Structure 1
């Protein structure tokens, strides 16, 4: 089995590639290693994959550039795609909207065209809990309406789901879209709150706590996220005419993939402080544009269909992240 994993130098893509390689699969990673955040961290992830495993190769190409993509994969053979590459970040989408249309819309379409023409066995892709926008009914369910996004990032992810539904209907391409909820853990992203808070605490600098600290998130540990992705990878959506999670009769389903717990932001900060052995200097700030106050995943659909059961609480996961951060930076 050979799988093409986009965003392989990214946080989730790196960990998914690691899991597949560890069980003996071949992985072709595809990533343009852009500078949205530290390219050193991305290259360190790739180096770690190459150190741990045989069977991994990297194509350094922008999948939103169709000509470059076509050339790069022309002589490559793979059975399935896990499409995790995207321009991430709610706040950055306000500053640089074109990057999101380029990567998340054009890029998503390009990867679907690859899967369609090669008649691949399965296509798993990353959506986001951001699609729920200002929905104030908790927990968020895949049956909820998601047509009022609060950021361009969220709008592109909802658009990806719609494009995927069309391709699944027209070409009977098995697809699963995964709405991720606040993923964290070792090798995480430097623009995420857990990294930013840990970095500031060790530097003796104040942390910016948005929403005056009155926010809740469904924090999901990376190993649990990977288990859900791999379960979808191993079990393509059936083309049986039955209504799938998300409401489709095509071989296309949507799942929330979270921890099914909504934790107070202040509790997460407290756990970081304990793991660092230092108290944070907190600067309370109002909500940022495009942000939501609460997230909470109803994961009953993926539990029912695939037996997904997240097992890592933030009491366990946060210290693991801080330990990795300390070791990575030599603190």
Structure 2
């Protein structure tokens, strides 16, 4: 059994917390939550054009209304910029959510993943190493399960068969973090997110794409002829999981053995968690809920399976429930209703 601290570490509550990817979907919500709980947040983002920068800027504008928030526009792949940032602030905790996302995008733009997800993450690790970070939490992905077919996906499963470069880069992040945790005793927690959705969501994600198409009367593309299941996880549940973990850095698992290694923990202060709803949903059910919310039928275009896609995702969250006493539980019906309300307002 992995070990996390029994009580929140008081030192974590002092000083500014760095949230990378703060203009992004999850980063925005995490920063909002930290600010509402009275913490000081430095939000960093490159505000690139992977999707509409105006949505990212709108999120930043909301965060800037908080007096304890400061924003830094920077690219983590820039070694000197990242080094200076960590030297200036000496962050007690870092929540690293910045990344080049997207499975299909990685088929056409592979170098973007090397720059952002490998080089950028290495610079974050170096910043944590040299400037006293007490806990690094970083975004991984359910994509690391790759060719695995046994459901639900467990953090105790082997994940050595990624089927996209994006997934490979996230697996690499987990390995890089473990190396630094082992060498320099940096407490690191990896978070395997499962299809996060909700207000202020990403335009390249399925629920946003479907909603926009339904309102505009355009066809939606359902791959594998709609025969797909995803563990849709509402963003507030993701934020709650992160909030409970941030002050509980891993201490290392004293029972860990190289003779029978647990893939999710280590003798080093390193731990992996699934962050999912523990309930996969049929894609066509999600479309039906959106049709109901918007009062319009979807025009469905059935297509074959795409390279890099998997048939189903389904998170085993027992480790998370045991260690922090929390299970994501927002139903897809409630989550879609909340997303749709925001979407109507955002799209006028």
> What TM bracket, shorter-length normalisation?
over 0.9
Confirm or deny that 1:248 pairs with 2:266. Answer: yes
Q: 1:245 to 1:316 in 2, by over 3 A?
A: farther
CA distance in structure 1 between the aligned counterparts of 2:177 and 2:195, rounded to whole angstroms: 23
Distance 1:76 1:286, change over 3 A: same
Task: Work out whether residues 43 and 69 of structure 2, in 8 Å CA contact, stay in contact via their aligned partners in 1.
Answer: yes
Find the counterpart in structure 2 of residue 317 from structure 1. 335
In structure 1, what is the equivalent of residue 88 of structure 2? Answer: 75
Question: 33, 58, 70: which is aligned to 1:19?
Answer: 33
Return the match for 1:259 from 266, 277, 297.
277
Q: Which residue of 2 aligns with 1:47?
A: 61
**Does the CA contact (< 8 Å) of 1:59 and 1:72 recur in 2?**
no
Segments of 5+ residues of structure 2 without an aligned counterpart are 1-13, 257-261
* Residue aligning to 2:73: 60
For the residue of structure 2 that corresponds to 1:28, the secondary structure is strand
Q: Distance in 2 between matches of 1:247 and 1:7?
A: 26
The structure-2 alpha-carbon separation of the partners of 1:242 and 1:236, relative to structure 1 and needing over 3 Å to count, comes to farther
Which one of 238, 243, 265 corresponds to residue 230 of structure 1?
243
SS across alignment from 1:317: helix
Are the aligned partners of 1:172 and 1:239 in contact in 2 as well (CA < 8 Å)?
A: no
Output the CA distance in 2 between the equivalents of 1:257 and 1:216: 16
Distance (whole Å) between structure 1 residues aligned to residue 263 and residue 56 of structure 2: 33
Unaligned regions of 5+ residues in structure 1, if any? none
Secondary structure of 2:88 counterpart: coil
The answer on 1:294 being equivalent to 2:312 is: yes
When the two chains are superposed, the root-mean-square deviation of aligned CA atoms in Å is 1.2
Q: Please identify, of 237-246 and 94-103, the stretch whose mean Cα deviation from structure 2 is larger.
A: 237-246
Q: Secondary structure at the match of 1:82?
A: strand
Which of the numbers 141, 149, 158 marks the counterpart of 1:128? 141
Question: Residue 34 of structure 1 aligns to a residue in which SS?
Answer: coil
Task: Give me the whole-angstrom Cα distance separating, in 1, the residues matched to 2:306 and 2:318.
Answer: 30
Question: Aligned pairs, how many?
Answer: 329
Q: How high is the TM-score relative to the length of structure 1?
A: 0.97
Equivalent residue in structure 1 for 2:176, among 154, 163, 167? 163
Output the CA distance in 2 between the equivalents of 1:218 and 1:190: 18
Shift of 1:78: 2.3
Q: Which runs of 4+ in 1 moved over 4 A?
A: none
Q: Name the structure, 1 or 2, with higher relative contact order (CA <8 Å, separation 6+).
A: 2
Q: Deviations over 1:201-243 (max 9, x none)?
A: 0001111111100000000000000111111112111146344
Q: What TM-score results when the alignment is normalised by the length of structure 2?
A: 0.92
Q: Do the aligned residues in 1 keep the contact of 2:192 with 2:272 (CA within 8 Å)? A: yes
CA distance in 1, matches of 2:310, 2:188: 28
Q: CA deviation at 1:74?
A: 4.0
